[in-house]
Amino acid sequence: MTVANKNIIDTYTKLFEGLDAITKIELIERLSKSLKKEKNSTEKAFFKSYGAWGSDKPAEEIVNEIKASRKFREKVLNF
């Protein structure tokens, strides 16, 4: 365990001291559920999102629309 992780644990422990028993039990349940989740779920979610942009327009047209919608303003800086 790294020093940073130890500090995080210490900080959370201090926060939990003020909680009542029911809240602590709920917290334990939620932490347990998070451990049971598949570790690769974040990675799978990332790959599921690949290609999620839905449009019939070609990429070049979308890029041109984005560039055309940019607004720039000139501001004179006095030094």
Block means of pLDDT (10 residues each) for the chain, 79 residues, are 90 90 92 76 71 78 92 84
CA angle, 12 then 15 then 18, to 5°: 145
Q: pTM for this one?
A: 0.41
Q: Give the residue extent of every domain in the chain.
A: 3-68
C-alpha to C-alpha distance for 53 and 39, rounded to whole angstroms: 26
C-alpha to C-alpha distance for 17 and 23, rounded to whole angstroms: 11
Contact 19, 27 (CB under 8 A): yes
Looking at residue 40, what is its pLDDT? 58
